[in-house]
Each structure stands twice: as structure tokens, then as C-alpha cells.
Amino acid sequence: ARVTPVNRRVLIVDDEPDVLELVEFKLTGQGFDVIRAATGVEALRKARCESPEVIVLDLLLPDLDGLSVCEILRAQPSTRDVPVVVFSVLDRPLTSARGARARVFRWLKKGSNFDSLCDSVSAAFDEHSDRVNRRVKPEEHPTRRSAG
């Protein structure tokens, strides 16, 4: 059995209730705490308020497209480092500039094996945790010496 740390919070963003329910079922079975959003605006609000460690994002949403959501997330200090796993019927966007700005951790096509999604979310969570743990703490900065 896999040991799962607490507070492995994932935000799932999809406007299809069946997809939300199935992804939530799979991820909670892997020990993740799941937050749901059905629109891009709701996703942005929940990303700021709920502080997920990973976001699973559909690209086709009723209000904002998923890449726009990613670009907004990357522009906000509180969400810029949160890994995003795209889970969509669309293939990886052909526009490399937008894709690069979105800094997507992994792209999965809907219909993929759900084990791949769970593995991708776990890998994104591990990378996020490593990044947070590598940040330099204020007491580790060298102190300034006064001249004289």
C-alpha cells in the first residue's frame, strides 16, 4: 500500500459533471483531497483561495479557455508555481508560444488511462513539494556586512 501525506490538494477544472466525478473518485482513491471547479473564473478563484498543490485542467471551458487560465495562474504570485496537468480532448496546442507561457507540467488526452492521470498528478505533486522545499529560507541568506 502506498503511504500518502496529508494535504495533497488537487483542483480539478472541467465543465462536464461526469468527468469531474470520475476524476475526483480516482484521485480521492489515491489519497488526494479534491476541489472542483466548472469554469475558468471559478478555477482562478479557487486556486487563490484553496491553495491546491496541483491543478488538473480541461482546455475547453465555457468562459475562458484552459490556456488563458494557465497564463493568468502564471501571472499571479500565489499560483505561478502550481503545476498544471492538462486533461482535455484537445491535443497539445500547436501554438508553441502560448504553450510555453502556460508552462504545463504534463498534457494528457481525455480517454487516456486514469492510472496515467493519477501518476501525472502524483509526479506533479512531488515536483511542487520539491520546489517548495528547495526555496531558500530567510535565515540562510548571507548577512550584509557593514563597510568600515
90 falls in which pLDDT band (50, 70, 90)?
confident
Task: Check residue 143 and give its pLDDT.
Answer: 44
Task: Check residue 3 and give its pLDDT.
Answer: 45
Given a cut of 80, whether residue 82 has pLDDT beyond it is yes
The pTM assigned to this predicted structure is 0.82
| Per-residue pLDDT tens digits for 11-31 | 999 999 999 999 999 999 999
Task: Check residue 145 and give its pLDDT.
Answer: 42
| Residue 90 and residue 47 in contact, taking contact as beta carbons nearer than 8 Å | no
Given a cut of 90, whether residue 121 has pLDDT beyond it is yes
Given a cut of 70, whether residue 83 has pLDDT beyond it is yes
| 39: CB partners within 8 A, 6+ apart | 15, 61, 62, 63, 64
Q: Quick one: which H or E segment has residue 107? A: strand 106-109
Q: Considering the chain, what is the average pLDDT of its residues?
A: 84
